[in-house]
Chain A
Amino acid sequence: MIYLELFWTFFQVGLLGFGGGYAFLPLMESLVVGAGFLSSSEFLRLLAVAEVTPGPIGLNTATYVGLQTGGWAGAAVANFGVASPSLLLILSLAGLLSRWREGRLLRGLFAGLRPVTIALILAAAWTVGRGGLFEPAFSLWGLALFALCAGLSFVPRLPPLALMLGAGVIGSLLSWGQLW
């Protein structure tokens, strides 16, 4: 039953994905590819679309993977799967959580998870970058575009969406000129 599988996969992502959307990506990729829903390069293609769609990246990626795997209903189920651990945890424990946050066990837990979630974020950069730089083949143009984007991200008040769309246009031009 594909809907149950989708729900369960994304429920796990929502329940175990500490550190927010970017830190989700390695976990989501390994679960989605592991379950055989999509190939790794399919996943990356969806990710590019999910990134430029407004809304939280974790939810968008889930929606799109669900849509590709199980149509409209799949999209709804996957989206609900990622969102429901947040709903369950917060709506049942909201009062306790703000008090426990100061306790030493929870402090230790978060201190232990912090380097791990940052590593997950950097690994997500690697996963995504690998797709952009090496598929179908390595290109120096890609590396130059990466450096340009990294530099431009320090410009204050430049919206990330503008940066992404600009890079997309440059990518289109490079494909049009058959430069990569």
Chain B
Amino acid sequence: MLPLIEGALVRRGWLTEAEFLDLLASAQALPGTIALNTTIFAGHHLRGLAGGLVAAFGLIWPPFLVLIGLAQVLETLRDWPIVQGFFRGILIAVAALIALSGIKLAARALKHPVPWILLGLSLLCLILGWLHPLGLLAAGALGGLGWGFWGPPPQEAGPATPPDPEDLT
């Protein structure tokens, strides 16, 4: 998804590569679908409020219509074993893709042992159902704010590694 957005914006000369990566970093930091956030940021960057709204609308409606059309067809076929097998195969492929994208992301984004330990603990909490995802997000946010407030000041390292559009959906 993101390589397509990048192509659309950069090829037309609406944004430079560096501007795109900057918007992408902001889009990732915020809650919400990254593709939608990037699109709204880009629209806003180019044409303010109206630009953001128009860009969001442009991204939202095509998949909306496709999905509604597809759903009509699939709901009539859903009891066929072959169709059920098809979905089961897709779920397995999706699980593999998600797992690998999570592992790649962890390998690139987590540079210290502490976040790796936190990742392991968070995963245990989620899979064993000890914590609701909301509780976990709150704990991560509070812990991070505390770290930002009382922890050591951020090092003056070079610019953060730019996100790789290939790895995100």
Give the chain A neighbours of B102 by CB distance below 8 A.
22, 118, 121-122, 124-125
A82 contacts B32, C-beta separation under 8 Å: yes
A21 contacts B169, C-beta separation under 8 Å: yes
CA distance A21 to B1 in the complex (A): 11
Task: Report the nearest A residue to B100, measured CB to CB.
Answer: A153
- Count the A-B residue pairs with Cβ separation under 8 angstroms: how many? 340
Tell me the residues in window 40-62 of chain B with beta carbons closer than 8 Å to chain A beta carbons: 40-41, 44-45, 49, 52-53, 56, 59-60, 62
Contact (A109, B62) CB under 8 Å given A48-B90, A128-B91:
no
Confirm or deny: B18 has a beta carbon within 8 angstroms of a beta carbon on chain A. no
B36 contacts A56, C-beta separation under 8 Å: yes
- Which range contains the number of B residues in contact with the other chain? 35 or more
Task: Out of A21, A49, A106, A132, name the residue touching B74 (CB < 8 Å).
Answer: A49
Contact (A122, B123) CB under 8 Å given A63-B64, A168-B89:
yes
Give the chain A neighbours of B142 by CB distance below 8 A.
112
Give the chain B neighbours of A107 by CB distance below 8 A.
148, 154
- Name A's B-contacting residues (CB within 8 A): 14-22, 24, 26-27, 30, 44-45, 47-60, 63-64, 67, 72, 75-76, 79, 82-83, 85-87, 89-91, 94, 97-98, 101, 104-126, 128-129, 131-133, 135, 142, 145-146, 149-150, 153-154, 160, 163-176, 180
- Name B's A-contacting residues (CB within 8 A): 1, 22, 25-26, 28-37, 40-41, 44-45, 49, 52-53, 56, 59-60, 62-64, 66-68, 70-71, 74, 78, 81-103, 105-106, 109-110, 115-116, 118-119, 122-123, 125-127, 132-134, 136-137, 139-149, 151, 153-154, 168-169
